[in-house]
Structure 1
Amino acid sequence: MDGRVATALSAFDAITLEELNGKAAMLERLDRKYIVPAPRLIAAFAQFQDHFDVLEIAGKRSFTYATQYFDDHDARFYHDHHQGRRKRCKVRIRTYLDAGFSYLEVKLKDVRDITVKKRLKLAEPEKGLSTEALAFIDKCHSDMYGTALARQIAPVIEMQYARITLVAKQGGERMTIDTNLAFHNGRFRRATPSGHFILETKSARGNGLADKILRAVHLHPTKQCSKYCMGMAALGAVERHNRFLPALKRLQVFDQPLVARSLDNRQASQIAA
């Protein structure tokens, strides 16, 4: 974590994971995302610390997440987002590396444009989808849209990043702060520059206390800021990404090199054979 951010974060009161889940799970919410450089984030912290607590586990306030995203052969999930379709979803396996557990997560949009997230805890981290997982995905899709997903999906990209979570002292609102994003797939890897943060506010109406504080310091939402979609564009996995260009430019993704992933010895020997 940026040392300046860590210092500013030390002024916050702590909240435990159990307390967070009890008051601010926010599995149905309106989201707003902001891309903010470190100096402006630190300035906003002075106001946040009076109204928000920070998640702390075993003395840590920043946690590493690893996420594997799934899509079909035509990248339909991606293109549904790119075209701005109201009926759309994402499927991912998120692993909380510090805590050592994983969830299959299905994110959908309802008719109110509210994000609905359904989760299935996995017995152990998976690199694919089991029969149980596929049935869970179909049920989530059917419950929301009236039909099963009815398409074959497979892993397309993975990403890793550090996350800080703030929880409102009053009410169920919370905010996540992500940094040091690294996207990769079987061929390439690309990371975002340090000192840039993606803030995501999560509230019942999409205009919570965090949004008001950010507006007061002249920070405004960044549209089309899906980490999955930016990752697909960053790795060259899709040709069309103009809808996400403003967010990609603010995060300076394309200023960073696209690096070919090297094969480990076992993979190299398999290819040689």
Structure 2
Amino acid sequence: MTAAIDRFVAALPPIGLDELVERAELLTRLDRKYMLPVVDLPFVLGGLDGDVRVLEMGRGEREFGYRSIYFDTPGMDGYLAAARRRRRRFKLRIRTYLDSGLDSGRHFFEIKTRGPRGTTVKQRIPYDGDFRRLGGEARAYADTVLAEAGINSAGLRFVPTLTTFYRRTTLFFPATGSRLTVDTGLTWTLPDGTALRTDDRAIVETKSGRAGSDADRLLWSLGHRPCPVSKYGTGLAALRPELPANRWLPVLRRHFPTALHESLA
């Protein structure tokens, strides 16, 4: 992040993970995502009013690294369901928390499905298996959770399709129980090593009620609108142009005009 953003975050009062989970998990949330230039972040964060707290863990860390390895079928059923806006769709990933204080070095197998009225349902279990395949407890868990969401995964094979890295800062608004996350240092990598890095872009995500939070209204007033940016969907669409990407084309054209297929040395 920029020095201005670092100073803003450093000045905020902290909130611990246990308190954040206790106070925010009761919210029936609707996620709204925004992709914007990093240079716009000071205007967003500096415009936040009222009581704002920042997630702090470990030895005072307020920004944390995440790695996610996404799994899909060889036919890309999960990706295509999202691209075509199917009601029954899913994401499977192994998430690793890379920094101290945030389950450092621990891995979780996570499943995202769609809940009532467009809400996101995320379920997870600890993971200590192979990163190249899903087997044993993780596979059984996936089949059970997907079946509960109306998705029959019997006979499907899941393989790694994309790895993402980013740094996250989480803000909490006690008055409404809503949250805002800021992801920077975004990198996407295919299994063959082809990679895309967007250091000049950030993904801001709000997690609040249907009417939108004060943070949403601030973003709207600054000309930013929610967009269908998905770390999984957008990253694959950018790196694999043979896949249908109509849903993400506006994001790709605005934020990735020259970055497609950029390979990291």
**TM-score between the two structures when normalised by the length of structure 1:** 0.86
- What is the DSSP-based 3-state SS (H/G/I as helix, E as strand, rest coil) of the residue aligned with 2:47? helix
Structure 1 unaligned regions, length at least 5:
262-273
> Runs of at least 4 residues of structure 1 off by over 6 A?
none
- 197-206 or 61-70, larger mean C-alpha shift: 197-206
Match of 2:186 in 1: 181
Tell me if the contact between 2:187 and 2:197 (Cα under 8 Å) persists in the aligned partners: yes
Letter of the 1:234 partner, please give it: A
In the TM superposition, what is the alpha-carbon distance from 1:188 to its structure 2 partner? 3.2
Match of 1:268 in 2: none
| 1:99-118 alpha-carbon deviations (Å, 9 max, x no partner) | 22121111111241111111
Instruction: Select the residue among 223, 231, 234 that pairs with 2:235.
Output: 231
Tell me if the contact between 2:27 and 2:209 (Cα under 8 Å) persists in the aligned partners: no
Match of 1:8 in 2: 8
Rounded to whole Å, the distance in 2 between the matches of 1:128 and 1:102 is: 14
Rounded to whole Å, the distance in 2 between the matches of 1:104 and 1:49 is: 36
| 1:82-103 alpha-carbon deviations (Å, 9 max, x no partner) | 1111111111111011122121
- 1:180–1:190 Cα change, 3 Å: same
Rounded to whole Å, the distance in 2 between the matches of 1:161 and 1:2 is: 15
In the TM superposition, what is the alpha-carbon distance from 1:206 to its structure 2 partner? 5.7
Match of 1:142 in 2: 147
Match of 2:212 in 1: 207
Match of 1:168 in 2: 173
Tell me if the contact between 1:27 and 1:117 (Cα under 8 Å) persists in the aligned partners: no
- What is the DSSP-based 3-state SS (H/G/I as helix, E as strand, rest coil) of the residue aligned with 1:112? helix
- 157-166 or 22-31, larger mean C-alpha shift: 22-31
Match of 1:56 in 2: 56
In the TM superposition, what is the alpha-carbon distance from 1:125 to its structure 2 partner? 7.8
Match of 2:262 in 1: 258
Letter of the 2:51 partner, please give it: H
- What is the DSSP-based 3-state SS (H/G/I as helix, E as strand, rest coil) of the residue aligned with 1:33? strand
Match of 2:36 in 1: 36
Match of 2:71 in 1: 70
Rounded to whole Å, the distance in 1 between the matches of 2:130 and 2:12 is: 32
Rounded to whole Å, the distance in 1 between the matches of 2:106 and 2:241 is: 28
- What is the DSSP-based 3-state SS (H/G/I as helix, E as strand, rest coil) of the residue aligned with 1:199? strand
Rounded to whole Å, the distance in 1 between the matches of 2:40 and 2:147 is: 42
- 1:158–1:14 Cα change, 3 Å: same
Match of 2:251 in 1: 247
Match of 1:116 in 2: 121
- What is the DSSP-based 3-state SS (H/G/I as helix, E as strand, rest coil) of the residue aligned with 2:74? coil
Rounded to whole Å, the distance in 2 between the matches of 1:154 and 1:194 is: 28
- 1:124–1:64 Cα change, 3 Å: farther
Rounded to whole Å, the distance in 1 between the matches of 2:260 and 2:240 is: 13
Match of 2:110 in 1: 105
Q: Report sequence identity in percent.
A: 33
Tell me if the contact between 1:15 and 1:53 (Cα under 8 Å) persists in the aligned partners: yes
Rounded to whole Å, the distance in 2 between the matches of 1:181 and 1:253 is: 16
Rounded to whole Å, the distance in 1 between the matches of 2:107 and 2:13 is: 27
Rounded to whole Å, the distance in 1 between the matches of 2:66 and 2:254 is: 22
Rounded to whole Å, the distance in 2 between the matches of 1:230 and 1:253 is: 13
| 1:160-194 alpha-carbon deviations (Å, 9 max, x no partner) | 11111111122331111111111112323333332
- What is the DSSP-based 3-state SS (H/G/I as helix, E as strand, rest coil) of the residue aligned with 1:192? strand
- 191-200 or 159-168, larger mean C-alpha shift: 191-200
Structure 2 unaligned regions, length at least 5:
none
* Residue-pair matches, total: 259
- What is the DSSP-based 3-state SS (H/G/I as helix, E as strand, rest coil) of the residue aligned with 1:79? helix
Instruction: Select the residue among 195, 198, 203 that pairs with 1:198.
Output: 203
Letter of the 1:85 partner, please give it: R
In the TM superposition, what is the alpha-carbon distance from 1:256 to its structure 2 partner? 5.7
Letter of the 1:167 partner, please give it: F
Match of 1:17 in 2: 17
- What is the DSSP-based 3-state SS (H/G/I as helix, E as strand, rest coil) of the residue aligned with 1:171? coil
- 1:248–1:192 Cα change, 3 Å: farther
Tell me if the contact between 2:27 and 2:177 (Cα under 8 Å) persists in the aligned partners: no
